[in-house]
Structure 1
């Protein structure tokens, strides 16, 4: 089941999930997520976007949070959709849940009238990039360095 997440009810489950999926944070940030990471999940969004308009999604397997996603609107340009985060717990990876979540996110993006869905992928995450390219995302030519990672922006027309 995929459903919206809310800090009032889902903050503890998100905190547990982030510890289970710490490998992504270690790759991206060099350390496991800290105690504020779960709260930040509910407030982070791309530049110029309104976090109250972002959609926070959870994938549940057997009543356990198994995946997180954050979808924002208005970046990189007005009307665009931006997938700021999609992480699966290690115990559900490789089972088709990422593609299922992405399909749900694409449906939400189309319903909002977005012409394209954008995301960023770390150079140090070739498995992630392979997944995104298999799902139809292509490089936009926009690349940046955050001091630790080389990050590539990808997009997919909707």
Structure 2
């Protein structure tokens, strides 16, 4: 279990914590607000069951005990979500599957503050991986500003985790952050 902690964003009360049962509706609202990301990633808006599947979806070969879900709460309102898996795709690494901020919470420094806080708390993690929908410039730029190196876009696979990809689903760009001075 991860304890809640606050991150420093001037003028705002920002808490990072694990989601609980009462977060289902706020997370569904977040997913609806983030239609731009869902359309970029899947070709479609968020659908029924996306919040529930968040709790059990894992990349192939990942251990369920290594899954971490965190909610970003700004002034008591769910403003973001991080879905990550420790020790994936290799021992010691962290794979970020979803780093989502509501449109009203973007460009305020929340994403950077959250990412920096997570990296500091991760300790000696030598590599962090993430993906971003190909051509979704705000996500690509965000990762580049954090120091991630982005690969060329890969075509959409026939399946993504435990689901088939949609007919309008585009490819993804893999991003990697190698951290100097770790292991």
- Which category describes the TM-score, using the shorter chain as reference length? 0.7 to 0.9
How far did 1:154 drift?
1.2
Over 4 Å off, 4+ runs: none
Aligned counterpart for 2:174 among listed residues 140, 153, 156: 153
CA deviation after TM superposition for structure 1 residue 150, in Å: 2.1
- Kept in 1, the 8 Å contact 2:66–2:87? The answer is no
Relative distance call for 1:140 and 1:74 in structure 2 (3 A) is: farther
Counterpart position of 2:162: none
**Count of residue pairs the alignment pairs up:** 156
Cα 1:84–1:153 change in 2 (3 A) is same
Greater Rg by CA: 2
**Correspondent of 1:124 among 106, 130, 135:** 135
Gaps of 5+ in 2: 1-13, 159-168
TM-score scaled by length of structure 2 = 0.76
CA RMSD, 1 decimal: 1.9
Gaps of 5+ in 1: none
Greater relative contact order (CA < 8 Å, ≥ 6 in sequence): 2
Q: Does 1:68 align with 2:89?
A: no
